[in-house]
Structure formats: C-alpha cells, structure tokens
A and B are shown apart, each in its own frame.
Chain A
Amino acid sequence: MKRALVAIKRVVDYNARVRVKADKSGVDLTNVKMSMNPFCEIALEEALRLREAKQVEEVVAVSVGPQQVQETLRTALAMGADRAIHVSTPAASDPATLQPLAVARALAAVARREEPGIVLLGKQAIDDDCNQTGQMLAGLLRWPQATFASSLAVDAAAGTATVEREVDGGSETLRLKLPGVVTADLRLNTPRYATLPNIMKAKKKPIESLSTEELGVDTTPALQTLQVVEPQKRKGGVMVGSVKELVERLHGEAGVI
C-alpha cells in the first residue's frame, strides 16, 4: 500500500491534573503540559510498524487545530512519520470548541486527497473523551471500521486488515477490505520514544499547511458548551486499623454488606 494516514491530537498530558476555571467557562490550560494523545501515539506506532513490515511505503501524520499542533506533528515526525499535514482552524476559534464532526470532515477531505490504504486514529482523546472521530470519519468516507483495536495484521497484497477488538464481552475479530479506518486501543502496542537523531532529522521533514476554510469545513461547534464545573466531591474517608474494624464498619456504618 502506498500510505498509512494517522490522525493525531494535541491534548493535556495524561499525568497533568486539570482545574476548572472559576468562571466555569472551561478547563484551565495555562502552563499545563501538552502532549500527543496517548491513543494517537499508539496509532502512529502501529503505522510505523506497518512501514517497517513493508506493508505501507509511507506514514503521513495529520492534525487539525491551531498553530500549536505543529509541535505535536513535529513529535510525530520525530517518532518516524515521513511527512505531516497541518489543517489549521480559524485563528479566532477556540481549540477547545473543535468537535469530532468538524475534525472528521477535515480528515475525510485529507483522506480523499491522500488516498491512504488505511487510516489509523486513537480510539479517544483524553480531554473530551468523545470516542467518536474514527467512527465518524469512516461513516463520511463510507469505509469499513474497526474500533478499539488490540491487534492489527495487514495483508497489503490481499488488501485486507484483520483486527482484534476489545469489546464489553471480551474480544471480536474482524477482517476489513481496505481502505478502512482502525482506531487504536491501549494494548495495540507500546509506542517508541523519539530518539535524538530522529528529533534532529524531523526538523527537515515537511509539514504541509492546509486550512479548514479551504477544505470547506465549518468548525463552529454544533454542541455548545454552557458551563464546565467540577463534579461533587466525595465526603472524606477514614483509615481503619484492621480488617475486623473494616468489616464492622461496612456492615454497621455503611450498610453495604
């Protein structure tokens, strides 16, 4: 296959503790460390392995968002992607309002241009936790989808991908006729770190710029966020000194056993 297209998202680092703004307008991202979404890293790693196994010739990373997503695209290039595409969103728009439908429409336009044999995405972004973009992209392209992949085997010659997916009841195995969309779950692989030589090489790799405007994608959010608040805090707990005390209190106090 000519290429694997990997969509990645720049999100809050998974270790960061986020605070809700006092005015309830959203989450406070000032000075918070941003990173490539962990599931996107896994998707990218899988694409790189496909290239190493000679199932695809090149790996193209794409991200939709403001100027800063180029940092994340540079990381993708440093991990080993061959080239990157930045689809910029209007300067005035708040990146926090960018929603899966708009992203999927932008990615569909890119996919029609790039004609990948496979599109890989992370199953969900750890900021909005939507778990929608891959499925929506597959619908817009009318391509088969395999979400929550825990293993992927591509047969480029046959034009198929066999995917094992993690589902509520266990796992399910599907075979897709490519081109198709696969979203990565946690156990698909363990992503590599970008090595220093690759970080240096990445500076020379191209990042192509497109915009949602030129792709004809409206990024106005269809779901308007009215407020963001912290969940109710649980009442503080107590430490117990023994199992005996624990069981007594679970029975007598909490009434749960």
Chain B
Amino acid sequence: ISSLVVVEHRNGALTGSTLSAIAAAARLGGPVSALVGGEGVGGVADSAARVEGVDKVLVADSPLLRHQQPEPYAELLASLAAAAAFTHVLAPGGTFGKNLLPRAAALAGAQPAADVVEIVDADTFVRPIYAGNALATVRFTAPGPRFLTARPTSFKPAAAARAGAPAAVEAAPAGALAAMAAAPAAAEWVAESGRDGGARPELGAAKVIIAGGRALKSKENFALLERLADLLGGAVAASRAAVDAGYVPNDLQVGQTGKVVAPELYVALGISGAIQHVAGIKDSKCIVAVNTDAEAPIFQLADYGLVQDLFTALPELEQEIAKLKKQG
C-alpha cells in the first residue's frame, strides 16, 4: 500500500480538510506521500512535511498551477499515480478535491469513490448516498490505483505539527511534470471573491455552528446570529433558502450539496429541516432547533427542540449564555 494525498491549500496554509484526508490515508497502512501543487508553494510544502503521518512531500511548483486548475493538475495526478505505483490517491472532500479528483481518475481509467466516510479495508469503503439516507459499502474490483475523496468530518484531522523530524520534500518526477505541461489549455482564471478569513472558525472545523433559515428575513438579521456565534466561539451557517434569498453568501450553505458539518453543537434557527439540509448536519453531536412550527421536520432530528419565534429566542439565548459565562 502506498498513498498519495493531494494537498488543498489556501493563503499559504493547508486546509483542515487536507489534514483529515492525510489521517484517512494513514489509516490505510503504508507510506503516505503528500502532493503540493501550485506556484510559490515552498512554505506549503514545508507545512505538509510537518503533518503527522506524512512520509514524503512531492512538490509541483509551476505557473501552470498558479490557481491549481484541474486541467493541468489532473494530468499531473494521473501521471504520478501510474508512474509511482501508488495504490491509493486521495483528495479532501470539498470543492477543490471534487473538481480535480474525478478528472484525474478518468484519465487513469478509474471509477473513484466519492465522499468516503469509513475505511473498511484497502479496497472497501463506505459512502453516503441519497442525501445520507443510506450508506453504501463499496469495493474496488478493478486493478490500478484506488481514487477517492474523503469526507473531512469523518476523519479526525492529523496533527499539523508532529513530534520528530519533518518528512523529506522533493520535486515531483520529471515525467509527471512533463505530462502536466503537455495538458490542454486550462480554463483561464479571471477572479475570485470570498469572505475575508475573519476571526470566526471555518465551518468544517467549528465546534459550534449557529445556522439560520429563510425565517431570518434579511441580511441584517443574520448579524444577530453572528453575535450568538461570537459568544460561543462558533461559526455562522445557513440553509439553501437563506442563501437563495440573498441573505448570506453561498459559502455558508450547509446541506447535501453545500458543506457537510459535524460540530459539537448545531443550532438551527428558523430552519424547517428538509432532507437536503439535514444531510449536511446529521453527524453533529448535539442538534438544537428553534422554530415557530411545531410540525417542522427538524424537530424529529433535534436533540433539543424549542417552539418559539427565533427573534425572541435569540436575545434570550444571548442573555442566558452571558449569565452562564459570568458564573463559570
């Protein structure tokens, strides 16, 4: 067994989802290599070399990968997988991994397993289907590297700073780099926009998430959730309906086709609990629902349910929690 994990990085740092993918790879047994692709990624490579469980870091530092575009990156990945005899190729679940890994798998003639939540053995994995209403155990039967994306909330992240010497860092083999250079032209990157990092934790890593639905009624009202989130050191999320209505940007969306989260505490305010939303929160340790509709499906899922208007509940929550903090 020999695994290759594609490192996802933003602003010079490895994402939490990458640490989960590395942990998943380590579980397979066998050495773990981390692939760092991008431009000017020396620092990222050094960080990857310090992650617990990484045995080697391969670096592809090239202007072609400035925006980590899938067209050249997939050629690099497919070529590496074939040439270096990796048995497993993993990418973190998330928009980066999902965009890249299937393209690489197709080039390698392989059917990848998406969004793996459990490793049974080197060939056998569990993945959710039907919005997580069913779990399928799948086995790779064809020869060749097993390509898969790992759901971040299912694998406790590897430690970012291991005890002991960092792994060796070396350039990706020339053959793979040549394959990348020969790739057809990538889509041209034009721009990106996003929320500035901010002091709040990333949704995937947050221990507490305060989420709002369409009942919040406006962008301004979401600031009320931010206050509660800040009190608890948490992050803010939203249902699809709230994003569609323009109250919050898309990267706050939690659900079957948005982000999957598994915090210690998920508080759903004014969210009805449609199948598609629930798919993204089912693995949370504790789910709280506040809704004026006693019949809302979310109450069937919640550990604690409160039938109340969120606009009266929010200030009360802030008050009670502030009191608690004073006592503690």
Contacts and interface: CB of A to CB of B under 8 A. Distances in A.
B288 interface: yes
A169 interface: yes
A180 B250 contact: no
A223 B257 contact: no
A12 B39 CA distance: 43
Contacts of A18: 130, 133-134
A25 to B, nearest CB: 11
Interface string B10-40: 1000000000000000000000000000000
B268 to A, nearest CB: 12
A162 B188 CA distance: 9
Given A101-B110, A145-B70, A222-B140, A170 B193 contact: yes
Nearest to B244: A187
B74 interface: yes
A128 B127 CA distance: 9
Nearest to A105: B106
Contacts, number: 262
Nearest to B98: A131
A104 B111 CA distance: 10
Counting chain B residues whose Cβ lies within 8 A of the other chain, the interface size class is 35 or more
B107 interface: yes
Contact of B244 (A186, A231, A238, A249): A186
Contact of B107 (A14, A139, A171): A139
Nearest to A123: B257
B162 interface: no
Contacts of A30: none
Interface residues of A, number: 84
B307 A239 contact: yes
A129 B112 CA distance: 12
Interface string B296-309: 00010111111110
B49 to A, nearest CB: 24
Contact of B138 (A139, A224, A257): A224
Interface string B120-155: 000010001111111111111110000000000000
Contacts of B131: 126, 129
A174 B111 contact: no
B104 interface: yes
B251 A170 contact: yes
Interface stretch (B79-87, B164-172, B213-221, B279-287): B279-287
A10 to B, nearest CB: 15
A180 B70 CA distance: 13
A240 B138 CA distance: 41
Contact of A132 (B96, B112, B192): B112
Contacts of A185: 257
A143 B98 contact: no
A88 interface: no
A230 interface: yes
Given A170-B194, A170-B195, A129 B115 contact: yes
A192 interface: no
B139 to A, nearest CB: 5
Nearest to A227: B137
A171 B194 contact: yes
Contact of B316 (A166, A222, A243): A243
B43 interface: no
Nearest to B144: A222
A59 to B, nearest CB: 22
Nearest to B279: A129
Given A123-B257, A240-B306, A257-B321, A170 B250 contact: yes
Contacts of B140: 222-224
23 contacts: A27-B134, A131-B102, A139-B103, A144-B187, A147-B99, A168-B259, A170-B192, A170-B251, A174-B188, A185-B257, A186-B257, A187-B250, A224-B139, A225-B137, A235-B303, A237-B301, A237-B304, A241-B306, A246-B288, A246-B306, A254-B285, A254-B304, A257-B208
Given A14-B276, A257-B208, 8 more contacts: A139-B104, A144-B185, A147-B99, A166-B251, A170-B249, A234-B282, A234-B301, A250-B286
